[in-house]
Amino acid sequence: MTDAAQHPSAKHLKKRYAAEARFKMYGRLAITIALAFLVILLGRIVLQGYSTFTTNTVSLPVYLDPARIDRADLSGSNYDYLVSLAVLKALGETEDELGTMSEDASALISRDLGFQILDKVKADPGLIGKTITVTGPVKADADLYYKGEIKRSVAEGNRKLNDRQLTWLDRLKKSGRVHGGFNSAFFTHGDSTEPEQAGILGAAVGSAMMLLVTALIAIPVGVMAAIWLEEFAPKNGWTDLIEVNINNLAAVPSIVYGLLGLAVFINWLGAPRGSPLTGGIVLALMALPTMIIATRAALKAVPPSIRDGALAIGASRTQTVFHHVVPLARPGIMTGAILSLSHALGETAPLLMVGMVAFVPGIPSSFIGGATVLPVQVFIWENASERAFAERTAAGIMVLLAFMIVMNATAIILRRRYERRW
Amino acid sequence: MVVKVNMQTSAPTPVVGTHANQAPPAGEPAKITARDVNVYYGANHALKSVSLDIPGKSVTAFIGPSGCGKSTFLRCINRMNDTIPGCRVEGRIGLDGDDIYDPSIDPVSLRARVGMVFQKPNPFPKSIYDNVAYGPRIHGLETSKTGLDDLVEASLKRAGLWGEVHDRLKAPGTGLSGGQQQRLVIARAIAVNPEVILMDEPCSALDPIATARIEELIDDLASQFCIVIVTHSMAQAARVSQQTAFFHLGSLVETGPTGMIFTNPKDGRTQDYITGRTG
Amino acid sequence: MIFLIALAALLALSASAYQLARRRAVSSAGGRLAILHSLPGYHGTWVALWTGAPAALLLVLFLIFGARLEGAAIQAQTPPAVAKLDAQRQAVFYSDVQATAAGKARSAVSWDGELKTAFEAKTAEARNISTLGLVLAIGLAVVLALAGFLLAYPRLNKDFRARNRVEGWTDLLLVVCSAVAVLTTVAIVASVAWESFRFFQSVSPLDFWFGTDWSPQIAMREDQVAAKGAFGAVPLFAGTFLIMAIAMILAGPVGLFSAIYLSEYAGSAVRAWVKPLLEILAGVPTVVYGFFAALTVGPIFRSFFNWIGSFLVGGPLDGLGQYLAGVQNQMALTAGVVMGIMLIPFVSSLSDDIINAVPQSLRDGSLAMGATKSETITQVILPAALPGVVGAMMLAMSRAIGETMIVAMAAGLQAKLTANPLDTVTTVTVQIVTLLTGDQEFDSPKTLAAFGLGLTLFVVTLTLNIIALTIVRKYREQYD
């Protein structure tokens, strides 16, 4: 355009548009980087963890040799050895004098089979001398071999299983005694030192118990504190100080709450170490500021006309707040509560301080007994050296994330469904 | 509004300024020619088939009740509507005969030719100097330090602000009073030497004294620029403009020399509005 | 268990008090409810509160502090045989006494000879004391409940302002709940400062904050000369700041540019997709980032640098090659980058709020001058938003400094004073975790050092937060 070209600004236009394009590209690049990280992070975890959800089980006919079972002390007998012998028998091998054959065989089969035999013999001692078939998981390393994660191509010295064991595993598989299937143990067991026996249920129950404590403390206290600050508190230096204090508390590193819990609750008040009760109290204190901030925001969103209307028909201030304002703010309060609980669910550091890192086998049943929670279970497994725990760590993370997604989705649905625009 | 009450009781009595109400020299081609301009915000048809000629080197006022489309039309002239998501403009607006919605026209350079002043003074959070130098810098109009100094001084002088701020050019522009801020914004617009200056209710956030100064300034600038002003105040339109266009419900109802619109409107709706019966 | 029964009994008592008071209120008005000042329910609630609340409070306090009181009572007189033991063994002795008395498992230590007699005597004493405590607590609770009822009940009549009284109780409850937030801060400061004070009695604060040698694993005893300086925390601060700096170099620009793109360029459809995705990234627990750092990012970085090193070994840059070939998973870069990823959504959402607070009129003003979008952003919006952005960055820095799990899982344990991102460093939070996890006795300087570190961490992050929040608040007020 001739006229456009005449204006002196036109001559720099090309350069300026190049700068514009460059700038916009930086923005796109930043978003791409952020989203790529998300994909890589989640993708890696799924890739590392999905194999946990399947496992290989083996069915073996085990001869309950009366010579090897002490009828007087059923619990003291070595059933694992019987299982090893059964493996050798199934493979057509015979035990050597040094016991290396059975040692190699026992490294392939989970001790779960031995415990199953013990239970059966205890229930019916008449089984001794007979042959029974037991079914149970293979050892974690054997499972990894079946899943292709331990490879024969690796030098023998660099893998957990030797060539003979790999050959045995191949033969077991070929004989049809090994079946792949859903790893129900992972969802029904507590932690264990044996990876194939370790499950997430203990930690999930621990998390649920701890969150219950957190919710019972943080929600009522947080809501009532917010109601006072928003609806009743006079505006003066003290309330300003409380306000600043709450905002800053929300940004205090979580580990400091752990130090507080250790010094005050455990050492001073003698609260039980590593219990859902203590962990829940510490997390409640941590969740309190966010809870208060969210509730205040929800209360603020209720228009003053509602308060005026209630006061004008003769309701007292307290009645106004509890009969009119709080019910209207309830969806916002609930959303805030779920979000702060979901945050508490993922919190780890303060729990390490109050002794929740201890190894807790089985499912926790008491609020004052030792327990572990999902994120701490992840931390514990990540530290374990066995390779099979790495995939369980990732699977544990998937379970943790699933819980968090459910909670956040609930919060989002609540917000969408009950959101009101005044 | 006080002005409205006056309008209601006495017949419109436009205050005649030095330039005001003198019809533009006949025969000069219009600076801006709009033909069949329609604007939609999503499904909302905000401006309906507006055709209008705006002469250069004079002041044209758009009047009309709130939501009548006058600001929308103003924003079409420098394509500020492009920045609103969901806004669609149809029709043709010519600037010196070139269609400004032609794909070959670049909105950035168009806006260098068509400046705009907003309702609320919006100086950037920078010094007075940097505010005025902003346009020349981004457009690369002046690169030497002294050249820029001169340009800033000249622009501030043309905006009538130099005397008040020459000793504190490094002070933040946001520290000025409302009226001074609005003149600073006008100086900022002048600094790139545009052909047209659009003003969207430039005095609605100002007190009467500051308003009077801006009106004087508009009067002075009318000899150099094509000025289009949207105003709520009919008295202001009467004081500063030579032409007036009356918008109602998204349509252009009537246009003509200001004196004629205010004394002898042809359309009943215009009559109702200027006598205060609607609006 | 007995407490639950006591509390249940109290609840039943309050419920009957409620009924009695209700009836009295109704009869005081002669059945005409309209002449009552307050509804009968308020009368009932008020009397029930006086009956139940003080007694319940007493029981709960006893539940929390009872064990401590009993412990103090048992330890009031220490038998001579026990007095001969050192402080630690005395503590074990008494905890065993209390555990045995309560019928719980005790430690494996066997108390023989005269200790055995003392143990048995003390256990019997402990049983007596805890029975006495329980009887006292419950008796006192009953007295309080009756006294409360007798005080409140006779005051009821038709003009009694029961509603106002009940609302007074509600107000009290609300104030107490608000006080919890304040008390939390007080408790944090007091506990962490107190334990730090105990730590500084054995290690000079100057040595701690300015010493450059950190090796707390060496047992510290008074006779050990070399122990001095083993608690120099400077390398920890240096490591913390190195990792924080790496994280901010990644998260600062990426987060800021994401926010700019989302708020200024992206269409609503893009925003609707990208924002929730970023929220997911923000919601991922830090332990997951730690796992990602330790098992994915660390090995990738290590093999990358080892690979580069393998080309340089033997060449003119042999030294560098050797170094690169030897870098480890736990290098500062690993933790820094992963922490940076964690902070991207944090920086982005804070910056997004800040940028959106810049008034639209400034954008319009700049665009109407013929500025391009990027010119508007870099020359008008960002300068206007600068204080807010600085505040947001400071908040992110404070998060990075206090972050624990990523560094605990992906950073090293060895304290080293270096600015090299490929070196292994340790951080304040890692050391706190290391010093305090596992079974350690609480009184050694080694565990107390964790509180010294915690205090420093708290003060630093609090300072950053206060400054940042003040800046951000001032910034918002400016455009409100």
The architecture that CATH gives domain B2-13+31-274 is 3-Layer(aba) Sandwich (3.40)
pLDDT of A1 above 50: no
Q: Determine the residue among C60, C369, C404, C441 to mutate to test chain A binding: the one whose Cβ has the most chain A Cβ atoms within 10 Å.
A: C404
According to the 3-state scheme, what is the secondary structure of chain B? CHHHHHHHHCCCCCCCCCCCCCCCCCCCCCCEEEEEEEEEECCEEEEEEEEEEECCCCEEEEECCCCCCHHHHHHHHCCHHHHCCCEEEEEEEEECCEECCCCCCCHHHHHHHEEEECCCCCCCCCEHHHHHHHHHHHHCCCCCHHHHHHHHHHHHHHCCCHHHHCCCCCCEHHHCCHHHHHHHHHHHHHCCCCCEEEEECCCCCCCHHHHHHHHHHHHHHCCCCEEEEECCCHHHHHHHCCEEEEEECCEEEEEEEHHHHHHCCCCHHHHHHHCCCCC
- In C187-216, the residues whose Cβ lies within 8 Å of chain A are 187-188, 191-192, 194-195
Read off φ and ψ for residue A56, nearest 5 degrees. Answer: -110, 130
CB under 8 Å to B183, separation ≥6 — which residues? B159, B160, B161, B213, B214, B217
Of B104, B109, B138, the CB nearest to A7: B109
Contact C364 B125 (CB under 8 A): no
What gap in Å lies between CA A407 and CA A410, rounded to an integer? 5
A92-103: per-residue pLDDT in tens? 777 777 777 778
> Which ipTM score applies to this complex?
0.89
pLDDT of C443 above 70: no
pLDDT of A268 above 90: no
Query: What is the average pLDDT value for chain C, to the nearest integer?
Result: 85
C277-325: per-residue pLDDT in tens? 898 898 899 999 999 999 899 999 999 999 988 888 888 888 888 888 8
Identify the closest residue of chain B to C267 by CA–CA distance. B85
- Per-residue pLDDT, A9: 67
According to the 3-state scheme, what is the secondary structure of chain C? CHHHHHHHHHHHHHHHHHHHHHHHHHHHCCCCHHHCCCCHHHHHHHHHHHHHHHHHHHHHHHHHHHHHHHHHHHCCCCCHHHHCCCHHHHHHHHHHHHHHHCCCCCCCCCCCCHHHHHHHHHHHHHHHHHHHHHHHHHHHHHHHHHHHHHHHHHHCCCCCCHHHHHHHHHHHHHHHHHHHHHHHHHHHHHHHHHHHHHHHHHCCHHHHHHCCCECCCCCCCCCCCCCCCCECCHHHHHHHHHHHHHHHHHHHHHHHHHHHHHHHHCCHHHHHHHHHHHHHHHHCCHHHHHHHHHHHHHHHHHHHHHHHHHHHCCCCCHHHHHHHHCCCCCEHHHHHHHHHHHHHHHHHHHHHHHHHHCCHHHHHHHHHCCCCHHHHHHHHHHHHHHHHHHHHHHHHHHHHHHCCHHHHHHCCCCCCCCCCCCCECCCHHHHHHHHHCCCCCCCCHHHHHHHHHHHHHHHHHHHHHHHHHHHHHHHHHHHC
Q: In Å, how far is C317's CA from the nearest CA of chain A?
A: 32
Of B105, B139, B140, the CB nearest to A4: B105
Of A3, A8, A13, the CB nearest to B108: A13
Residues from chain A that touch B96, judged by Cβ atoms under 8 A, are 3
Contact A13 B106 (CB under 8 A): yes
- Per-residue pLDDT, C244: 95
Query: What is the average pLDDT value for chain A, to the nearest integer?
Result: 86
Q: In Å, how far is A38's CA from the nearest CA of chain C?
A: 6
Residues from chain B that touch A7, judged by Cβ atoms under 8 A, are 109, 112-113
- Per-residue pLDDT, C335: 94
Of A35, A251, A256, the CB nearest to C454: A256
- Per-residue pLDDT, A309: 87
Residues from chain B that touch C375, judged by Cβ atoms under 8 A, are 138
Residues from chain B that touch C366, judged by Cβ atoms under 8 A, are 124, 134
Chain B positions touching chain A (beta carbons under 8 Å):
95-96, 98, 102, 104-106, 108-110, 112-113, 138-141, 192
Residues from chain C that touch A263, judged by Cβ atoms under 8 A, are 191-192, 194-195, 451
Contact C291 A252 (CB under 8 A): no
Q: What is the CA radius of gyration of chain B?
A: 19
C382 touches chain B (CB under 8 A): no
Mean pLDDT of C384-400: 92
pLDDT of A75 above 60: yes
Of C177, C188, C377, the CB nearest to A228: C177
Identify the closest residue of chain B to C364 by CA–CA distance. B80
B115 touches chain C (CB under 8 A): yes
Q: What is the CATH number of domain A201-418?
A: 1.10.3720.10
What gap in Å lies between CA A259 and CA A265, rounded to an integer? 10
- Per-residue pLDDT, C285: 94
Mean pLDDT of A169-188: 85
A37 touches chain C (CB under 8 A): yes
Contact A12 B140 (CB under 8 A): yes
Q: In Å, how far is A216's CA from the nearest CA of chain C?
A: 13
A13 touches chain C (CB under 8 A): no
C267 touches chain B (CB under 8 A): yes
Give the side-chain half-sphere CA count within 13 A for A172: 31
Contact C458 A29 (CB under 8 A): no
B4 touches chain C (CB under 8 A): no
Residues from chain A that touch B95, judged by Cβ atoms under 8 A, are 3
Contact C268 B108 (CB under 8 A): no
C75 touches chain A (CB under 8 A): no
Q: pLDDT band for C442, please (50, 70, 90 cuts).
A: low
- In C280-299, the residues whose Cβ lies within 8 Å of chain A are 280-281, 283-292, 294-296
User: In chain A, where are the structural domains located?
Assistant: 1-33, 55-181, 201-418
Mean pLDDT of A115-135: 84
Q: What's the burial of C125, exposed, middle or buried (CB within 10 Å: 0-12/13-18/19+)?
A: middle
A413 touches chain C (CB under 8 A): no
C374 touches chain A (CB under 8 A): yes
Mean pLDDT of A347-372: 86
Give the side-chain half-sphere CA count within 13 A for A125: 8
Strand order across the A131-137 sheet: A131-137, A54-63, A178-182
> Within 10 A of C257 (CB to CB), how many other CB atoms are there?
24
User: In chain B, where are the structural domains located?
Assistant: 2-13+31-274
More confident residue, C298 or A127: C298
pLDDT of C340 above 90: yes
What gap in Å lies between CA C415 and CA A96, rounded to an integer? 52
The answer to whether B168 and B141 are in contact (CB under 8 A) is no
Residues from chain A that touch C373, judged by Cβ atoms under 8 A, are 20, 23-24
Of A1, A12, A17, the CB nearest to B98: A1
Q: Determine the residue among C263, C361, C364, C369 to mutate to test chain B binding: the one whose Cβ has the most chain B Cβ atoms within 10 Å.
A: C369
Q: In Å, how far is A192's CA from the nearest CA of chain C?
A: 19
Q: In Å, how far is C353's CA from the nearest CA of chain B?
A: 18
- Per-residue pLDDT, A203: 92
The answer to whether A344 and A400 are in contact (CB under 8 A) is no
- Per-residue pLDDT, A383: 85
Residues from chain A that touch C266, judged by Cβ atoms under 8 A, are 31
Q: In Å, how far is A1's CA from the nearest CA of chain B?
A: 7
Mean pLDDT of C146-166: 84
C174 touches chain A (CB under 8 A): yes
Contact B109 A11 (CB under 8 A): no
Q: pLDDT band for C217, please (50, 70, 90 cuts).
A: low
B249 touches chain C (CB under 8 A): no
Q: What is the pLDDT along chain B (279 residues), one digit of tens a residue?
A: 333 333 333 344 444 444 444 444 555 678 899 999 999 998 889 899 999 999 988 999 999 888 888 899 999 998 988 888 888 899 999 998 889 998 888 888 889 889 999 998 999 988 999 999 999 998 888 888 999 999 999 999 988 899 999 999 999 888 899 889 999 999 999 998 899 999 999 998 888 888 999 999 999 899 889 999 999 888 899 999 999 999 988 899 999 999 888 888 888 888 888 887 665
A197-208: per-residue pLDDT in tens? 888 999 999 999
Q: pLDDT band for C152, please (50, 70, 90 cuts).
A: confident
Q: What is the CATH number of domain C234-479?
A: 1.10.3720.10
**Chains B, C: CB contacts under 8 A, how many?**
70
Residues from chain A that touch B140, judged by Cβ atoms under 8 A, are 9, 11-12, 16
Chains in touch with C (≥3 Cβ pairs < 8 A): A, B
A145-178: per-residue pLDDT in tens? 888 888 888 887 778 888 888 888 888 888 888 8
C359 touches chain B (CB under 8 A): yes
- The length of chain A in residues reads 422
Mean pLDDT of C135-161: 85
Read off φ and ψ for residue C371, nearest 5 degrees. Answer: -80, 150
CB under 8 Å to A4, separation ≥6 — which residues? A10, B98, B104, B105, B106, B109, B110, B113
More confident residue, A132 or A284: A284
